[in-house]
Every structure is written in C-alpha cells, then in structure tokens.
A and B are shown apart, each in its own frame.
Chain A
Amino acid sequence: MHHHYPEGTVRALLNTDHVTPATRTTLEARLSLHAPYEPQFFTASEYVLLKAVCDRLIPQTGSDTDYINIARGIDERLTRNESNGWRYDSMPPDQDAYQLGLAGLEATAQSRHQQSFLHLPDAQQDDLLRLIQQAEVEGEPWDRLPAERFFEEILAEAVENYYSHPLAQEAIGYVGMADTPAWQRLGLNTLDDREPRPL
C-alpha cells in the first residue's frame, strides 16, 4: 500500500489557530533551517561522509530548498554532547561511536573498492551499508564497535531528525500538530475537515 498526500498541508496549518503558539514557533524554526551549515563537532570530511550516509538511509528527491539536513541535527547534538538517556553498554560513547563508525565505513570502502565511499555509485554504497547493518564487516574499528548497533543508532537518529521536519510530515499525511481546539472525529474512516485526504 502506498499513500500520497498533497504538499503544503502542514505549512498552511501553521498559519492558523489550529496550532498553539509554542508549536508554531518550534516548527517554523525547523522549516527555516536552509542556510549552509558548518559542522561544529565533525571534521569537514567526516561531515560530508555522514551526509552521504544519511542520503542513502533516507533518500531525498526534492529540490535543494526542500532538502532536510539530517546530518546537521546529529552534529548539533554531538557538539552539545547530549544523550537520549541511554546507550547500549556494548557501544562506546556517542561521539566516539560516530567518529569510529564513519572511519570504519570509509576504511571498508577503501579495502573493498579501493576508493572513497563518496565516489561509489548508489548501489555499491547501499551494499556497503547493508554489510554494516548485518555486521558482516571485520577488523578495526568493528572489533570494538558492534557494526549492527552502530547502524541501528545512526538509522534511528536519522529517522527522528527527518520525520520531525514539517515537509517530511506533509509527505506522510501527518497533521497531528494542528490539535487545537480538539480532534472531533476519532473513529475509523472519519476525518476532521483539516486532515488531508490522500491523493
């Protein structure tokens, strides 16, 4: 089953009384993050690699202005050294895990294809990521960084960063932020007027 929803729904609702001021402020700030971003935590080369990985985990086909910068959120979090409250005991601290994992990805690309991950075609990039997901990689740094856990963590964080963006929410037909004054129609196949119908 595929469902397609119209564009512009969340953006239009943000200009109405269906969202609270706190919600509007939060989502508009996220929508306005277009400026080029200089990484604070990652080196320039790590950051380019991280962006390339995010682009394979969640491919984006829209225009440059609609590009949702997943890597930026990761860099900002690691700059502040913030945690989501837990980590697998088998994993090193988050900052180390990201740096080790990216280095491991690049080293694995070099050893298997004699070139940078960045220069591989999409299909080969995906193959390498799948090897990491399935923990079919060996040697440094994977002997001290469980590859499947590294993959799971970067994927979960990418998903949270991407789908918290209003444009990504429009694409899946989510308008839960427009919760004021109330949702009236809760049952199966019953929609409030402001909820988008699939195309």
Chain B
Amino acid sequence: MQHYTTSETVDAVVIGTGAGGAPLLARLAAAGLKVVALEAGKHWTPYDDFPTDERAQSKLFWNDERLSAGEDPLPFGNNNSGTGVGGSTLHYTAYTPRVQPDDLRLRSEFSVGEDWPFGFEEIEPYYDEIEHFLGVSGPANYPWGPVRKRQYPLGPLPINAPGQLMERGCRELGIRTSPAANAALSAPYFQEGVGWRQACTNRGFCQAGCNIGAKASMDVTYIPLAIHHGAEVRPESFVTQLVKDASGKISEVIYIRNGQEERQRCRYVFLCAGTVETPRLLLMNGLANTSGQVGRNVMAHTALQIWGEFDEDIRPYKGIPGALISEDTHRPSDQIAGPVDFAGGYLLQSIGVMPLTYLSQMARARGLWGDALKQAATTYNHVAGINILGDCLPYAHNYLELSDEKDVRGLPKPRIYFSNGENEERMTSHANQVMRSIWEAAGAKNLWAFPRNAHVIGTCRMGNDPDRAVVDAEGRSYDIPNLYISDNSTFPSALSVNPALTIMALSLRTADRFLTRSNRLD
C-alpha cells in the first residue's frame, strides 16, 4: 500500500470507509489523485478475526455511546452503525434493491417530504456499474421498477426456509414476490483489484460479518480497488477537527491515532462518516452550517418485523437472511389491505435471524423472562420473520444535537431525537395487517411484532436551496468550497428501500462530478 507523509499536502482526505467513502476513494485514486482515507476502526482480517459468534462480533458496531431520545428512541450499536475499514457494510445484510423513480419525487407526488435535486436517470448508470463490480446476485426478471439495461451479473442466492414461507403466504394472498437482489456472491466472481472472491456458503451471518469475502462489504471490494490504484487507508484514525485556513477552505484534518494527535494537510476533504458522526464532527467544529440544517431532518425507515412459529423445521440461521422481496407495497393498491391513508410506501422482505439478535429482540418486545422465556427460546429453530422497510418523512422534532455528556475522548456525545409521525404510524399499521395476513396464510402461530426503525438517514440534507440544504446536488458544502459530504446524511428523503446501494451510487456520482469540476478548473 502507498504511504503518504503527514507533512505533504495530499489531494484529498476521505473520512470514513463505508458505502459513502470507499467507492469515492477508489474513483479518486484511479484518476491519479493522492488520497488518504482516515478510518476510526480497525482493518480486520475476516477469516482470522471473525468468529461465528454474535457477541464477539459486536466489535463491528460503532459502540461509542449515543443518547437516544424522543418517543421512539433509535437503537444504535448493532442497528444503524459500524466501525472498521468497510464501515457499516461490514455488518449490512447486503440487501441491495434499487430505488424506484418515484422515491425521488415524494413531494411532487404527495405534497409531503422532499424531492431529490435530480432524477433516477442520474443514479441508474451507477447502479448498473456498482452491481457489476460488486457481483450482485439477483433474479433474471425483476418485477418492479424500470426495465434494467443489463441483468444482474449473478443468479439469485438460494431461497432459505423463511423465504419459502413468505412465498407461500404471498401466493395465497395474490402478492407478487421475487428472489431479492443481494450483494453476496451466488458463484465465484472475478473482481478488478481483488481477484477471485468465493461464493456465499449460506452462513446467514451477514449482520455479524462475512468471514470469506462472499458478501460485498467495502473492505473486500472498493477498498482493495482503491489501494490497487494508490490510495492509502489509515485505520484506527479518529478525526476530531477540520482546520480552516484564511481563505475559508479546510487545509488540514486533525485525528487521533495510537493516542497521538496527527495532522494531514490536504486540498479537499470528503466527509463520509455517516448520519450521526458526520453532523457531529461539523457541529463540534462549528462548520458548514450557515443553513442551520446540520443535524436536522433525522429520518429512519419504518421497519416493523412480524415473527411467527411454524410446524416446519426452519433453522433461521441458514442462508442469506433477506432472500425474498416484494415491492407490491411500494405504492400499495387498496386491494391489499383496504384504503391507503399514507404517503409513500414500503418493501416486504423475508428474514432469517441469528439467535442472539432474535432472542434479545424477543425479550425487549415481549418482555418474556423466567420459564416463559426459556420455553419461547426453544422454538428458535421454528421461527421466521417478515420485515418492512418504508419511507419516513423529515420532521422538525427529529434531530441530532451535541449533549453536555462527554465520551472517553472528552468529546460531546450526540443526542438523537426520533419520534414517528402520523404518516409512519399509518404505514406501519398497514404493514402490520399485511404481514400478519401473509404469515397466517403461510401457517404461522404465536405471531408477535417487533416495532423498530432502521437505517438512520438525514442530518446534512442535499438540495438546490442553500437556505434549506447543507450540500448541493453534487455533495459539495454550500459554505466550504473544498468540503464534500458523501453518505446517508445527505439523503433529502428516506426512500423506501435499503440505502447502501444508493449511498454507493451517490459516492461515485460525487467523485465524477468533483473530477469533472477539477479538470475544468485545471
């Protein structure tokens, strides 16, 4: 790997190596720029470092404490956050549906929420490129959204037992299903800068780290590509300050490595630390906030889960967890569950589950303990779930602020307020009815609901109006000309699909726009 000295001025510092930082890092390096990525977490060696053990693997989560406030406090840690080279993609489920064009036009369609400053046609070429680079496995004919220019590069992963059950229940109700697109390999795949990656072994452990590189986390895809093109990745480097020079540009990034403060001089900064750490760093430094929008508009997908017990043997630890999808509820018709009284929509997903995740959720949601808990736990091999991921509107009452409480580094802990609004409650109530019907049709007993929100989004909105947005449609700060943001914080609306693929697409788009602009200036 290339190493740059802290005394030289590199072209760009990229803060964070997840879905927002890694693709852009590779793109800038491939263009010949001197780039350094600063990553707070470690650079793992998955086979040696990742036991198949949920408790040991909690090291992949961002475990610095965040304060969860509001009516529906958001869990972090194993929900919504990651650390290590690869960021949250180390523990994402690899579910990679594309948005549909109307996801980007919520306000035009429903007069609530926000439109995006560009349309689907701007993102589509990047989806295509990324799916082929990562080796996304998916169906030959996907029933929803615009016609694809190319098929998925690999056929779908095998449908596990929860997927078979969802298929059964949906067929009964006339809801269409499809094998889902997942960024895990259904066959060995050759990848530029990496070589051959091996096929998924159906470990079902995506959310606690893939140990064979079958799942397309950034550490086995865009990061090696970036290094191949000359980027330096500096792990265990926690950024604390962005220093401005007299001209108002950021000239230096200060970070802590091995307990020592280091400084890296640079021409540009790409902040890719995610919906919580990105605004936290800006607020701590009093930067890029002329709009007053930094930290505002926290959104999190509606993500209710319905669990049920079946007579059949399921073994929910096997296979890609989210094997099956339906987007018939993207804009649900009144036939599915009566009149629709909310804006936007959601997707339906079958879910397998690891035991600790399942049992701790069950303990929290059902409040079971004592012998009742132990008996319920013995049904683990017979449980399967369905899940939604749906849009969430931005509200003034949902935001992030710096608290007075300090963390171990002496930095203020972030406090995140989150309460679902009426739209989210109506959507969730609709989904609750739909999922219970599917599970009952599939033969489930003892249904129970796990209320939750997933995929925290927002806090540094992009838009065309500098009074209402932190960055422009390219991801560039309105206040600081050499600062870009590339992560889920810039999403103007939450979308009705998992965000990772779209974060990667925006990352490449930001890199290309930046390179075009720089070439013009040169």
Contact = CB atoms under 8 A, between A and B. Distances in A.
Contact of B359 (A5, A83, A159, A182): A159
B317 A176 contact: yes
Contacts of A25: 51
A86 B66 contact: yes
Given A85-B78, A174-B317, A174-B380, A22 B364 contact: no
A43 interface: no
A193 interface: no
Given A86-B68, A159-B360, A22 B48 contact: yes
A191 B67 contact: no
A60 B359 CA distance: 17
B204 A176 contact: yes
Given A26-B56, A160-B55, A4 B378 contact: yes
A56 B372 CA distance: 11
Interface in B171-230: 201-205, 211
A84 B370 contact: no
Place the interface of chain A in its size category. Answer: 35 or more
A57 interface: yes
Given A156-B360, A156-B363, A159-B359, A85 B160 contact: no
A186 B158 contact: yes
B62 interface: yes
Contacts of B62: 85
B382 interface: yes
Contact of A186 (B55, B160, B359, B445): B160
Interface in B267-325: 309, 311-315, 317-319
B412 interface: no
Contact of A191 (B48, B315, B446): B315
B374 interface: yes
A163 B355 contact: yes
B77 A174 contact: no
Contacts of B74: 86
Interface in A173-198: 173-174, 176-177, 179-191, 195, 198
Q: Which 3 A-B pairs have the closest CB atoms?
A: A85-B77, A176-B317, A182-B201
Contact of B378 (A27, A81, A171): A171
Given A59-B374, A159-B360, A183-B319, A20 B67 contact: no
Given A85-B62, A186-B318, A195-B315, A26 B53 contact: yes
A183 B202 contact: yes
B58 interface: yes
Contacts of B364: 152, 155-156
B354 A176 contact: yes
A19 interface: yes
Interface of B: 47-56, 58, 61-69, 73-78, 81, 158-161, 164-165, 201-205, 211, 309, 311-315, 317-319, 354-356, 359-360, 363-364, 367, 369-371, 373-375, 377-382, 405, 408, 415, 445-446
B65 A160 contact: no
Given A156-B364, A163-B359, A177 B378 contact: no
Secondary structure at the A interface, as helix, strand, loop or mixed, is loop
A93 B81 CA distance: 20
Given A57-B370, A58-B373, A86-B65, A179 B203 contact: yes
Nearest to B415: A89
A93 B309 CA distance: 37
Interface of A: 1-5, 19-23, 25-27, 56-59, 81-90, 93, 126, 129, 133, 152, 155-156, 159-161, 163-164, 169, 171-174, 176-177, 179-191, 195, 198
A169 B355 contact: yes
Contacts of B54: 160, 164
Contacts of B359: 159-160, 163
Given A1-B445, A57-B370, A159-B359, 12 more contacts: A22-B48, A22-B50, A27-B53, A57-B373, A85-B63, A85-B78, A86-B74, A93-B65, A156-B360, A159-B356, A172-B380, A186-B160
Given A1-B379, A3-B382, A163-B355, A86 B77 contact: yes
Nearest to A122: B370
Most buried by A among B165, B315, B360, B446: B315
